[in-house]
Structure 1
Amino acid sequence: MSPAHSVLHDVFGYEHFRGPQEAIIEHVSAGGDALVLMPTGGGKSLCYQVPAIVRREAGHGVTLVVSPLIALMHDQVGALLEAGVEAAFLNSTLDWPQTLEVERRLARGELTMLYAAPERVTTERFIALLDGLHERGQLSLIAIDEAHCVSQWGHDFRPEYRQLALLHQRYPEVPRIALTATADELTRADIVAGLELGDARLFISSFDRPNIRYRLEEKKEPLAQLIRFIEREHPGEAGVVYCQSRKRVEEMAAALRDAGVQALPYHAGMPADQRQQHQDRFLREDGIVMVATIAFGMGIDKPDVRFVAHLDMPKNIEGYYQETGRAGRDGLPADAWMVYGLQDVVNQRRMIDDGDAAEEFKAVLRGKLDALLALAEATDCRRVRLLRYFGEEYGRPAAGPPQGGPAPSGGSEPREAGSVGATCGNCDNCLNPPAVWDGTDAARKLLSTIYRVQQANGLSFGAGHLLDIVRGKDTEKVRQFGHERLSTFGIGKEYSDNQLRGVLRQLLALGAIGVHRVLLDSGHSFDTLVLTPGSRPVLRGEQSVPLRQATAQATPRRTRRASAPPVAAANLDPDAQVRFINLKAWRAEVAREHNLPAYVIFHDATLAAIAERNPVSMGDLQGINGMGATKLDKYGEEVLRVCRA
């Protein structure tokens, strides 16, 4: 066995590396720099934890892990300690005596890994600690997790990450590894520039998560749609529901609780202690649904999240992919479910247009939003489009430099995913292919109405009023402005409201209409739709507008009863399922004693493998994934006792 394989087997209890893990680990263990793109749940943490242990055993000292979240540090350090690895963190949860003790242990050379947030790493006191390690030749490796935070184009930009380049400037011979789950070409280039990783090798794992089923539906009654989705397919299972605003988070969490779902809210406006309490419950208890803004989620390692739902459209595909990737980290079936509507697109476009950024920056953000809308309105395979956005053709490796080649020095705007014939068999469009209709005529009628309204009144109006004119509705507002006299009044009676809203979404995606915010004397405001230079090709019939036919919600392919066994135990025989349940109960007790999430002790998949094997001796436990040497010594006899019972 190579040193890396020995660590993988003896410390973490795994027999084989996954995907490009081995090549990354060997490169970094030998002192090379690396930029690693690997999907959530793909095993990124092992890519720096194994080299950290290998280099420590070779006498190189401690590895610094820059991590953006306190919860992630706590869980990863807890998992390392459970595996017999000396690790610690420095963050605001420690009091002064605890902080001093960690610093003393660091100075005495007792730690293999030290976790800290970027805000702390760049302070004078912390740099002084690193200087001392460096002078003694005991700064072994620098790992920068969630590296997309360095990029202004990323969805979680944190200015503090930009300052991390000083680590390379100060300790140029210390190897570095930067890791992220989401980065298109533009973001990758920004990471390389921001962290000065020009000589790093780029490792791109497949972005595909085949266990995740992607489903995007038109938003009609979002709460009712969400409750129906959870009750039919994920009763009693852990999930995350993302909403755009804090108020909506609170409302949806309360509504889910009223419907019998164990739901908790999470957003940045809550007291810090309450946020921590809710996060701890989500991590430590079974079946909790977290309703949250995007303030929640980055770095959450909970493996058995069975669904991620979006009640509002994210800003871009990177954010959508990062958030949906929190489902099914254990490799078992999971759902990425989203409802979206015209107002989502209007809101996101308005936030871009009203921002203070330069026009060049806004143009990139609009392109990213349009790519997500194109994914939502697509009639072909969602997975093919999603992967192509990140430069990967379905069934083939990611595009770009050869795996392990030099990191890019420049980037380009995201490429729009095109329609190809491949199908994944695990998204809504592949399972229930939608009907398509030609929305070009309806689009021209809508654009003509916007033009004539502006001509008649010198004003612009919102989507609801424009649809009333096109469909010929006799409303008070129509009469107030005399819009029943327009030549386009009632010109689109043959189209339903849902059809026309779909047309407007596509026109926004095409840039054929824009969003203009109108401020009232009262201080209130509202969004209106206006023509753009992109309107002309559609009005002239030079550009077609193909659309997916709005249909009723399809019957789900995968349904589960409330009494169904956990997903990890679904294929076990009845006796093994009893052992699995008993092992979960024992694991919960151990986790409470150690103040750790249960999955840090053992993953469900490990418990299922133990239950299936029905071990009677310590030798029977060897070779089970997740049963490293330390855990075998620590828990082996107890596991055997539970199985015998």
Structure 2
Amino acid sequence: MNSPSDTPSSSASDTKNAPALDVLQRVFGYGEFRTPQQSIIDCLVSGEDALVIMPTGGGKSLCYQIPALLRPGCAIVVSPLIALMQDQVEALQQLGVRAAYLNSSLSGEDAQAVERAWLGDQLDLLYVAPERLLQPRMLELLQATEPALFAIDEAHCVSQWGHDFREDYLQLSELHRRFPTVPRIALTATADTRTREEIERRLNLETAQKFYSSFDRPNICYQIALKENPRAQLLRFLQQEHPNDAGIVYCLSRKRVNETAAWLADQGFEALPYHAGLPAEERAQNQRRFLREEGVIIVATIAFGMGIDKPDVRFVAHLDLPKTVEAYYQETGRAGRDGLPANAWMVYGLQDVITLRQMLDTSQGSEEHKRREQQRLSAMLGLCEITSCRRQALLAYFDEDMPQPCGNCDACLTPVPTWDGTEAAQMALSAVYRTGQRFGVNHLIDVLRGVENDKVFQNDHHRLSTFGVGDALDTRTWRSVIRQLVARGFLTVDEARYGALRLQETAVEVLRGEIEVQLRKDPKPSASKRTTKTPLPEHVDVELWEALRDCRRELAEAQGIPPYIIFHDKTLQQICEQRPRSVDEFAAISGVGDRKCAKYAQAFLAVVEARG
């Protein structure tokens, strides 16, 4: 990290009284705000609190970074991850902004240097972990200064039953008690109504201004398929759509992470594992490589990714079903932060449903908590099983209406047909009942299809009225029927009986013929019809694009920073399209602020000139 004394300070003295739009253009290189960035910035600059729910890639950071440059004092940013702090500080320093962080990665000497810079009014933004912020010494230093504002990033961590809960976040209400006149902003990309209310209550933000942006990420194509051969399906997806792209592959267990990363490496991909069981040094090194190199795939448990600021992640793949829609939305949101085309790809199966329901049944927590989490899991399963537009269903979960289908999900691109599965559902539920609700999926399918084997004969199940009634359907179809009955809550898994299926109360309505059961016809495995091999429009000069990427990579390696901190892919794309020939033309490119123009214009202009 740059020491505070090396951090550029040219932006500090001339921004405190500048209009927000001027700072946006001059420091960050963007011509206009997105809705509702300007309103959020005005709110903080005037000294009011704000709660911001904005999708990943929506520009949340600017909402507190610009007020930090406009208000007197140093803004304190609460961030849960060391890697995120380092990433954002490096990016700000590239812009000439006086930023630093305090966390456990610093030596005592470096930490003292940061504190001296802070107390000497030489910083505009200071990133701090929540556990450090509330230490007595840190609170004393805060009392000795006048913070410009407090920004609480990843605010959903305050939700005690959320998927990213951090106990230290519960204490952050102390900031309001000790510093009642300092404006606060809490930000997250993941919050349903219940989580929003919990953030407001736990952080004392009931009177804050609320800013809720659209959750839609139109550049992401959502694709969800049934597990047939997960590795083969993943390999086909990567080879056809992302042969050289950076991406994240999520798995449920550490063992599967290790095995999948090794297997992908054997297939020729630059794949690295990431989970809490790895040595800290190896984990940090793998994350650094993912951030700083191009085309690296991280295979990870959910321990990886919160706050990852890499803009050119072209895909997020799930080999196992997430527990909640919130988790799925946040994890897939790490793709395509730059606004260019990206994929959210997932395979799931009946065993995922069974495993997650078993985990919930045996988890800690009250019965009320388990009931709510079961509801969340059911919503996730509903998203998988739906036959209409997935984006409409995803947005509806966050109380957002999308009148028309999106046209950019698998359900829209390749509609799934349905069939009247009422009779098949009745057969399956009857088989569960007549076998005593003591058996798992495979045995029930054998009974339905009339398979004569030892287990069937030992239990006298060949004498049942349901024996062989379903021989017209193959095993694959019966697995689909049972999976969908479990997903819809007509059946549940009995943990005490090693995966035995049991009837739920609602199954009675199906058995009586009181409700009709429409089931999806699972498509047979096939190659995807959609590809996003490159985020570039067809008219862009690919050779110039690659030359600009090489230039960016060399500049980044010389400074020990990720390439995207110099310029995002979107900026390089504009350079390709506009082919600037002068410094003034280069300065007009989106994402090129004053400092970056002065630092990098000549290098990139030379590349454009060399390509004619």
TM-score tier after normalising by the smaller chain length: over 0.9
Worse-matched range after superposition: 629-638 or 209-218: 629-638
SS of residue in 2 equivalent to 1:533? coil
Q: What whole-Å deviation, never above 9, does each CA across 1:176-200 have from its counterpart, x for those lacking one?
A: 1011111110111011111110111
Amino acid at match of 1:297: G
CA distance in structure 1 between the partners assigned to 2:18 and 2:217 by the alignment: 29
Q: Would you say 1:497 and 2:475 are equivalent positions?
A: yes
Q: Would you say 1:558 and 2:530 are equivalent positions?
A: yes
Match of 2:573 in 1: 608
Paired residues of 1:14 and 1:628 also in contact (CA < 8 A): yes
Q: Would you say 1:534 and 2:550 are equivalent positions?
A: no
Amino acid at match of 1:307: F
Paired residues of 1:432 and 1:554 also in contact (CA < 8 A): no
Amino acid at match of 2:184: R
**Matched residues, number:** 594
Paired residues of 1:154 and 1:183 also in contact (CA < 8 A): no
Match of 2:35 in 1: 19
Q: 1:279 aligns with which of 281, 287, 292?
A: 287
Question: How far has the Cα of 1:560 moved from its partner?
Answer: 5.9
CA distance in structure 1 between the partners assigned to 2:248 and 2:196 by the alignment: 27
Amino acid at match of 1:34: A
TM-score (normalizing by structure 2): 0.94
Amino acid at match of 1:158: R
SS of residue in 1 equivalent to 2:495? strand
Question: How far has the Cα of 1:169 moved from its partner?
Answer: 1.3
Match of 1:39 in 2: 55
Amino acid at match of 1:157: F
Q: What whole-Å deviation, never above 9, does each CA across 1:235-274 have from its counterpart, x for those lacking one?
A: 1111111111011111111221222222111111111111
Question: How far has the Cα of 1:166 moved from its partner?
Answer: 0.7
CA distance in structure 1 between the partners assigned to 2:532 and 2:482 by the alignment: 37
SS of residue in 2 equivalent to 1:65? strand
Q: 2:214 aligns with which of 199, 206, 212?
A: 206
Match of 2:535 in 1: 567
Runs of 5+ unmatched residues, structure 2: 1-16
Question: How far has the Cα of 1:623 moved from its partner?
Answer: 1.6
Match of 2:602 in 1: 637
CA distance in structure 2 between the partners assigned to 1:112 and 1:78 by the alignment: 14
TM alignment of 1:610-625, pairs within 5 A: 610-625=575-590
Q: 1:336 aligns with which of 316, 319, 344?
A: 344
Paired residues of 2:341 and 2:532 also in contact (CA < 8 A): no
Amino acid at match of 2:470: G
Paired residues of 2:223 and 2:346 also in contact (CA < 8 A): yes
Match of 2:410 in 1: 428
Paired residues of 1:153 and 1:187 also in contact (CA < 8 A): no
Worse-matched range after superposition: 531-540 or 340-349: 531-540
Question: How far has the Cα of 1:453 moved from its partner?
Answer: 1.4
TM alignment of 1:71-110, pairs within 5 A: 71-110=83-122
CA distance in structure 2 between the partners assigned to 1:534 and 1:559 by the alignment: 41
Paired residues of 1:153 and 1:186 also in contact (CA < 8 A): no
Q: 2:466 aligns with which of 488, 492, 507?
A: 488
TM alignment of 1:289-368, pairs within 5 A: 289-368=297-376
Match of 1:478 in 2: 456
Question: How far has the Cα of 1:587 moved from its partner?
Answer: 1.4
Match of 2:3 in 1: none
CA distance in structure 1 between the partners assigned to 2:69 and 2:522 by the alignment: 54
Amino acid at match of 2:429: L
Distance 1:152 1:7, change over 3 A: same
CA distance in structure 1 between the partners assigned to 2:531 and 2:563 by the alignment: 26
Q: Would you say 1:544 and 2:516 are equivalent positions?
A: yes
Q: 2:133 aligns with which of 121, 125, 130?
A: 121
Q: Would you say 1:440 and 2:422 are equivalent positions?
A: yes
Match of 1:174 in 2: 182
Q: Would you say 1:385 and 2:374 are equivalent positions?
A: no
TM-score (normalizing by structure 1): 0.90
CA distance in structure 2 between the partners assigned to 1:557 and 1:4 by the alignment: 45
Match of 1:417 in 2: none
Question: How far has the Cα of 1:81 moved from its partner?
Answer: 0.3
Q: Would you say 1:64 and 2:76 are equivalent positions?
A: yes
Q: 1:184 aligns with which of 174, 185, 192?
A: 192
Distance 1:591 1:129, change over 3 A: same
Q: 2:555 aligns with which of 582, 590, 593?
A: 590
SS of residue in 2 equivalent to 1:45? helix
Match of 2:492 in 1: 514
Match of 1:246 in 2: 254
Amino acid at match of 1:369: L
Amino acid at match of 2:451: K
Q: What whole-Å deviation, never above 9, does each CA across 1:128-167 have from its counterpart, x for those lacking one?
A: 221211xxxx211000111111112422111111111111
Runs of 5+ unmatched residues, structure 1: 396-421, 520-525
CA distance in structure 2 between the partners assigned to 1:180 and 1:213 by the alignment: 22
CA distance in structure 1 between the partners assigned to 2:530 and 2:501 by the alignment: 40
Worse-matched range after superposition: 93-102 or 547-556: 547-556
Distance 1:71 1:496, change over 3 A: same
Q: 1:461 aligns with which of 430, 439, 443?
A: 439
Q: What whole-Å deviation, never above 9, does each CA across 1:64-87 have from its counterpart, x for those lacking one?
A: 000111111001000000000000
Paired residues of 1:39 and 1:325 also in contact (CA < 8 A): yes
CA distance in structure 2 between the partners assigned to 1:641 and 1:37 by the alignment: 42
Amino acid at match of 1:129: L
Q: CA RMSD in A?
A: 1.6
Question: How far has the Cα of 1:553 moved from its partner?
Answer: 3.7
SS of residue in 2 equivalent to 1:163? helix
Paired residues of 2:228 and 2:525 also in contact (CA < 8 A): no
Amino acid at match of 1:335: N
Worse-matched range after superposition: 119-128 or 183-192: 119-128
CA distance in structure 2 between the partners assigned to 1:452 and 1:534 by the alignment: 17
Paired residues of 2:320 and 2:347 also in contact (CA < 8 A): yes
Percent of aligned positions with the same letter in both sequences?
53
Paired residues of 1:262 and 1:289 also in contact (CA < 8 A): yes
Question: How far has the Cα of 1:499 moved from its partner?
Answer: 2.3
Match of 2:70 in 1: 54
